């Protein structure tokens, strides 16, 4: 079976949640850093990435998307001196779980964002690398003609232990050939700060999105479609992008956010900040959210992520 059957394509976007809230670190003094790092790492362990990834893989297997845009596909490492390094690689864990379910995906492109290494109060080092990733189903043998990734020029600057740290974000894209038709997919995760966010959006619009190719943009824009709390979502719509949820979704389509510990009983999703946007010939014929129902939770009771994912089937009009 070909991925294209009358020029159809299925897409999923999902912010997977790094498992912890980092802002407490941003204004800390040097003396408080080790205690805060230990607290942050313990929260990461409590949100149990190896368990959550099984629930995420189950949700993905229910849709079998052709292309997946992931945000906060993080890499954690605990470095214990004179002993070992304990590594949690979200992407590799997810690929393994998908493989167990008969789905063979590969990393087409990734952009490496913020990378930090800080001491805890036990004499260890904790490393965190934030990444955004595009996955492609291998069994469809897609031809990727071009891969691009870049960090934004404008990023949030925070203070950690008296030093300025740039919270790097960026975008990545692939150009794919399908039955002689070229398309482009861009994946991103924009900043929460509205002033910075719009600069980052404009970098995408003036860069990889400045094309006549059939175009798809996936990601967490941190811009609520319900009330335009930041101008970013409207900026994409104003330059001709359409929203898969607006075209073919039912209901509010909320995607954010569950409690930081992922243990809230009733779903707390009240805003719609995660999107599949498109232009230059696409039409959405189906849109669903994933990971937002009680049945989506892990066997330990955790929500798969603090975000719901968004799935869409797109048709490229001839």
pLDDT in tens, 119-161: 999 999 999 999 999 999 987 667 899 999 999 999 999 877 7
**Residue 217's beta-bridge partner residues?**
186, 277
Question: What is the average pLDDT score of the chain?
Answer: 92
Closest among 163, 162, 136 to 147, alpha carbons compared: 136
> What's the distance, CA 156 to chain centroid?
18
Closest among 102, 156, 110, 163 to 135, alpha carbons compared: 110
Going by pLDDT thresholds of 50, 70 and 90, the confidence category of residue 82 is confident
Give the global pTM.
0.94
Q: How far apart are CA 93 and CA 112, in angstroms?
A: 18
Across the range 209-215, mean pLDDT stands at 96
pLDDT digits (tens, 9 = 90+) for 233-287: 999 999 999 999 999 999 999 999 999 999 999 999 999 999 999 999 999 999 9
Number of helices followed by number of strands (H, E) in the chain: 6, 16
Domains delineated in the chain: 8-316 (3.60.10.10)
Percent of the chain with pLDDT over 70: 96
Q: How far apart are CA 47 and CA 75, in angstroms?
A: 14
Q: How far apart are CA 16 and CA 219, in angstroms?
A: 11
- Per DSSP, 271 falls in state B
pLDDT of residue 318: 67
Across the range 7-36, mean pLDDT stands at 86
């Amino acid at each position: 079976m070909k991925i294209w059957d009358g020029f159809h394509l299925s897409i999923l976007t999902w912010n997977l949640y790094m498992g912890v809230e980092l802002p407490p670190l941003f204004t800390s003094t040097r003396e408080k850093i080790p205690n805060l790092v230990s607290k942050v790492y313990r929260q990461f362990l409590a949100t149990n990435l190896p368990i959550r990834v099984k629930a995420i893989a189950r949700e993905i297997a229910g849709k079998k998307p052709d292309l997946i845009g992931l945000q906060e596909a993080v890499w954690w490492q605990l470095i214990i001196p004179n002993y070992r390094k304990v590594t949690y690689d979200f992407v590799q864990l997810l690929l393994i779980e998908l493989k167990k379910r008969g789905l063979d995906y590969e990393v087409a492109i990734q952009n490496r964002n913020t990378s930090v290494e800080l001491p805890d109060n036990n004499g260890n080092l904790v490393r965190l690398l934030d990444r955004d990733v595009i996955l492609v189903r291998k069994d469809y043998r897609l031809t990727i003609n071009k891969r691009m990734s870049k960090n934004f020029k404008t990023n949030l600057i925070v203070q950690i232990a008296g030093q300025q740290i740039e919270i790097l974000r960026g975008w990545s894209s692939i150009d794919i050939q399908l039955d002689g038709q070229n398309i482009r997919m861009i994946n991103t995760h924009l900043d929460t700060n509205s002033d910075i966010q719009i600069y980052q959006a404009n970098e995408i619009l003036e860069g990889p999105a400045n094309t006549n190719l059939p175009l798809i943009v996936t990601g967490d824009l941190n811009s609520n479609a319900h009330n335009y709390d930041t101008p970013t979502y409207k900026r994409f719509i104003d330059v001709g992008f359409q929203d898969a949820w607006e075209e073919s979704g039912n209901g509010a389509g909320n995607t954010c956010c569950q409690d930081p510990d992922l243990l809230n009983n009733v779903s707390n999703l009240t805003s719609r900040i995660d999107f599949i946007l498109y232009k230059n010939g696409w039409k959405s014929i189906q849109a669903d959210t994933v990971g937002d129902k009680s049945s989506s939770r892990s066997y330990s009771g955790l929500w798969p992520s603090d975000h719901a994912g968004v799935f869409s089937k797109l048709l490229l009009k001839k």
